[in-house]
Structure 1
Amino acid sequence: MKKTFRRDGVDLAYRDVGAGLPVIFQHGLGGDEAQVADVFPDLPVTRRVTLECRGQGGSGYGPVDRLSIATFAEDIEALADDLAIGPAVVGGISMGAALALRLSVHKPARVRALVLARPAWVSKAAPANMRPYAVVGDLLMRHSPEHARRLFDESPVAAELARLAPDNLSSLQGFFNRPDPVLFGKLLVAIAGDGPGVSESDIRAIAVPTLVIGHDHDLVHRLGDAQALAGLIPSARLCTITAKSQDRAAYRREFRACLSEFLESLA
């Protein structure tokens, strides 16, 4: 059952399940707690906490100018303080990986170990692979959801995704059904144009045990970015798994297996 945490006048939903090794594990852009639950292993030795970031899942938006990776990271830290969680394994998927990366650099005392799953950022802001999110966000801000969806489906961006990364396309098409489409569009544009706020030298200085999970056949979550992060972090191990677009069951099984082995080694 989700609970609610209030920060800066914004109600934020989160899930806190299990007992043992604390693991703060975050969803991707436009995702929610269910995205994490789908791939998180059923381990009796872990306590998994997932905050649904502003404008996503059951959480409110708050001020639009505060929609950023930095704000989301501050929200996570505030929730951890509220729950009296000390040093934890911190990780996430896509945007969640960027949040974990930011926390590991800017709040190292908070991070006992790091998990970067399907990363969409390395160090630079507004990477080219996040452009499809910005395209969808811009369309939602300027058109009705129905018209925006038609324009997107007819775009070169959608054609490229359909050919090379159908799972990315399916995820983006689902965004046109969201409530508060203009606000959600602003969220997509803001985060797609943002970054984790770290440098390559910051990443090289990360000293905690790190697991990087990546796969191919994905234009947003590029295997090259996972490989780059694994190469920069001295203690990192790269686990390459099957892409969702190839075999969703294998993706889920292999993701859980990689994460389970890593967490059990820590617990």
Structure 2
Amino acid sequence: RAQGGSGAGSKRPFSIEMFADDVLAAADAAGLDRFVAGGISMGAAIALRLAARHPDRVTGLVLVRPAWAFDAASQNMRPYVEVAELIRGRPLDDARDAFAASATAARFRIEAPDNLASLLGFFARANANVFAEVMRAIANDGPGVTRAAAAGLALPTLVIGSGIDLVHPLATARSLADTIPNAAFVEVTPKATDKERHFAEIRAAIGSFLNTNFDKQDQS
């Protein structure tokens, strides 16, 4: 909701649970009974929730640069709340200038420039105000999956992480890979270092994972 070509809808508050329900509704509409669930960042949290809450529907799990492990409102998501509050409290140009001059932006400029570019991009969105509402709600949420529940997952899983990323810590990806039984872990080139190589390595890792675990399955 409120992303890509999708409207925001009228239901509030936004949550990972809501978005997971949206995925199931889309799968139902497409006639997909069972599927591999995967996503980047928030998409990884949605996929993890789907796998834990709907094991009858999810056959495999792909978590790319996850921003959450098991806790809600994780500290690495605070910049999203900061940006959201500025957008909702000031004219967009003033809000962007205020964030660009903030201590958060100064830290990200040095330690995670790709994250900073993404955060600054939120001020230029056509739906910036409603998207700020999404950001604030989701940043204060989480997958709603306990460590014990993740440890009980029994499905092929791939976790992909990278460095130079304060929003999607490499340690978070490693924690998920260490907790989910037999999960494969791949560390890829940081997006901030080489964006093209970053995504090429992600595509290769996902392709290998799918070929290994699903390509030879009986589709009858």
TM-score range, shorter chain: over 0.9
Pick aligned residue for 1:139 from 61, 83, 86: 86
Question: C-alpha displacement at 1:61, in angstroms?
Answer: 0.7
Unpaired segments of 5 or more residues in structure 2?
216-220
Once the two structures are superposed, residues 142-187 of structure 1 have per-residue CA deviations (whole angstroms, 9 ceiling, x without a partner) of 0111000000001011011001000000011110011232212111
Question: C-alpha displacement at 1:249, in angstroms?
Answer: 1.7
Moved more, 247-256 or 163-172: 247-256
Q: Is contact 2:51–2:61 with CA below 8 Å preserved after alignment?
A: yes
In structure 1, the partner of 2:103 is 156
Secondary structure of the corresponding residue to residue 245 of structure 1: coil
In structure 2, the partner of 1:244 is 191
Once superposed, which parts of structure 1, at least 4 consecutive aligned residues long, lie more than 2 Å away?
none
Alignment RMSD (CA, Å): 0.9
In structure 1, the partner of 2:156 is 209
2:105 corresponds to 1:166 = no
**What is the alpha-carbon distance in structure 2 between the residues aligned to residue 64 and residue 107 of structure 1?**
22
2:26 corresponds to 1:79 = yes
Once the two structures are superposed, residues 63-84 of structure 1 have per-residue CA deviations (whole angstroms, 9 ceiling, x without a partner) of 2623111101001001111111
Q: Is contact 1:64–1:187 with CA below 8 Å preserved after alignment?
A: no
The amino acid across from 1:239 in the alignment is V
User: Matched residue pairs, number?
Assistant: 214
**Pairing 1:89-108 to 2, within 5 Å after superposition:** 89-108=36-55
Q: Which has the higher strand share?
A: 1
**What is the alpha-carbon distance in structure 1 between the residues aligned to residue 39 and residue 81 of structure 2?**
21
Q: Which has the higher helix share?
A: 2
Q: Is contact 1:97–1:117 with CA below 8 Å preserved after alignment?
A: yes
Q: Is contact 1:88–1:110 with CA below 8 Å preserved after alignment?
A: yes
Question: C-alpha displacement at 1:86, in angstroms?
Answer: 1.6
The amino acid across from 1:200 in the alignment is R
Scaled by the length of structure 1, what TM-score is found?
0.79
Once the two structures are superposed, residues 67-116 of structure 1 have per-residue CA deviations (whole angstroms, 9 ceiling, x without a partner) of 11110100100111111102111100000000000000011111101000
Once the two structures are superposed, residues 34-59 of structure 1 have per-residue CA deviations (whole angstroms, 9 ceiling, x without a partner) of xxxxxxxxxxxxxxxxxxxx011111
Higher RCO (C-alpha 8 Å, min separation 6): 2
Once the two structures are superposed, residues 225-256 of structure 1 have per-residue CA deviations (whole angstroms, 9 ceiling, x without a partner) of 00000000012010000001011121011111
**What is the alpha-carbon distance in structure 1 between the residues aligned to residue 182 and residue 32 of structure 2?**
24
Secondary structure of the corresponding residue to residue 39 of structure 2: strand
Identical pairs, percent: 46
